Amino acid sequence: MTSSSVNACLEAARKADAPIMIQFSSGGAQFYAGKGLDNKDYTAAIAGAVSGAYHVRAMAEQYGVPVVLHTDHCAKKLLPWMDGMLAASERYYKMHGEPLFSSHMLDLSEEPLEENIDICVEYMERMAKMDMLLEMELGITGGEEDGVNNEDANQEDLYTKPEEVWAVTKALMKVPNAKFTIAAAFGNVHGVYAPGNVKLTPKILKNSQAYISEQLGMPQGSMPVSFVFHGGSGSDINDIRESIGYGVIKMNIDTDTQWSYWDGIRAYEKENRDYLQGQIGNPEGADKPNKKYYDPRMPIRAAEKACAKRLMQAFEDLKCVGVLGLGDSKEPSNVLASSVYREAGARKGALPV
């Protein structure tokens, strides 16, 4: 949602020695552009996402971590947002031979299945030409996120059927150079609720893998489908690990990182409350200045640290720690200063030179 939250993600990825996916929702992209800007025809959400993409590209290289740059739920009414971002990637691809974004999600799960598939195929064709990945949604993720409320969704819609996964796979496989993932519903919800309210059934993913393997004539135990786990916040580690075992390659975590970012600010304010009530005057004296406490960078940095800490747990849950092989990073460092990274083939900046 801001360059600060992006930096917290990059900092955590470097510390975990792991790759990361950073994604913008339409609301988050609009926020990146500034809520004071008119968002008619999603122009602010398009510009905000593009701005965020450039920020991620410029900074990922400095942190030395690979990033999959993605955007979140795009419902039918948000397709103009997607079109704007794809146009930006097409321009970028013409100049640099790669798309600006790595990947986008289309969420047409509210539409009839046939229409969902037709629109996905249409976009897959456009995206495959730029080597982009498409994430599509089947079934409904419950809960509430980014203004979309599925808290009263039909229980049956919270669980995807293997036949639906096959219908999507069959259609998208026909597109040349297609790479896609499926956000299948297995009882997952956006948001964090009191224990007992969310019943995850990762076996649904296993059943789909078995069904599709059979259709494709693949041996038993194959995992032809790459799944995405929405609503990872507040999930039990056993459900996370089980779903990874059934072919989940991406887990979204939003609510918990939101909380951690806020919790950093909350704790900072609590600790320094007496120094934050005016520009001058604190427990050390009525004439003492408070500038170094109320400088907004102080609470924001506290938020970044708390958020990076929560992300470290996610890297561990998802078995991602140490996978890049860059070694420990106790202190932040600029990779462009290190010959190790240059000799390892790091580019001189992810932005075009």
Per CB under 5 A, residues contacting Zn ion are 141, 230
- b/e string for 134-147 if b means 16 or more Cβ within 10 A? bbbbbbbbbbebee
CB 46 → Zn ion: shortest distance, Å?
20
Nearest residue to 109 (alpha-carbon basis) of 69, 178, 158: 158
Nearest Cα residue to 10 out of 1, 22, 2, 27: 22
Q: 234 or 281: whose CB is closer to Zn ion? A: 234
Among 150, 317, 295, 152, residue whose Cα is nearest residue 243: 317
Return the amino acid letter for 268: Y
Least Cβ distance, residue 72 to Zn ion (angstroms): 6
Q: Which is nearer to Zn ion, 232 or 264 (CB)?
A: 232
Nearer Cβ to Zn ion, position 75 or 324? Answer: 75
| Least CB distance to Zn ion at residue 105 (A) | 8
Q: Nearer Cβ to Zn ion, position 57 or 230?
A: 230
**Cα distance between residue 229 and residue 247, in whole Å:** 10
In 10 A of CB 229, how many CB atoms?
26
CB nearer to Zn ion: give 149 or 334. 149
Residue 43, H or E segment:
helix 43-63
Minimum Å gap between C-beta 229 and Zn ion is 9
Q: How far is the CB of 50 from Zn ion (least distance, A)?
A: 22
| Among 38, 41, 72, 131, the one annotated catalytic | 72
- Ranked by CB distance to Zn ion, the top (closest) residue is 230
Q: Which residues pair with 179 in a beta bridge?
A: 133
Residue 72 annotated to the active site: yes
User: What is the four-CA torsion angle of 303, 305, 309, 310, rounded to 10 degrees?
Assistant: 20
Q: Which amino acids are annotated catalytic?
A: 72
